[in-house]
Amino acid sequence: MTPTLKARFSLAQLLTLTAVVAVSCVVLMNENEWLRAAYVTASLGILLNALIAAIFSRGERQAFFIGFLVGAVFCGTAGLYSAGFTLPYLLSVELHKWLKQSVSHPPSDMHFATVMGISWIMASAIASGCLACRWRAVRPGGPPPPDAGEGGSEKQQSMNR
């Protein structure tokens, strides 16, 4: 029997997602080079934090941060080579067209591309991190990982907190 994956999100995850979307919208609609620079710098800081956490954490946290980094690197590099025919690109183009028609001061092309590029990379990274945690928790045909739930030593459980 194949285990099924059920999408369950905590309140903290949903609030984080809402905050990320809200900050992205604020940065997108307020074309300010300082705000854009702060957004890009914060995103790079998040990636650096994820790299450090992937190295030094264990268990589910390590799985999340490895997945986060893989998703960010994949989206960042594949996005450069696949611009023009991917769904994120097409959605971004349609949003940019709509903003130019609907808003009195639409963002410039460079500002829009920077903010949307970072937003798609972060969205892909978060989704990849969540998937990595789910796949780590579901191991078909094998025992659960020693640090998942009640199993494992006290030392392993305390390291995962």
Residue 143 lies in a domain: no
Q: At what angle do helices 109-137 and 33-56 cross, to 10 degrees?
A: 20
At residue 54, the 3 state secondary structure works out as helix
pTM of this structure: 0.68
The predicted-structure confidence for 3-53, as pLDDT tens digits, reads as follows 555 667 778 878 988 888 888 888 888 888 888 888 889 888 999 999 998
Number of domains present in the structure of the chain: 1
Residue 158 lies in a domain: no
Per the structure, the complete domain to which residue 67 belongs is given by: 32-138
Residue 160 lies in a domain: no
Tracing tokens 């979307």 back to the chain, one arrives at: 21
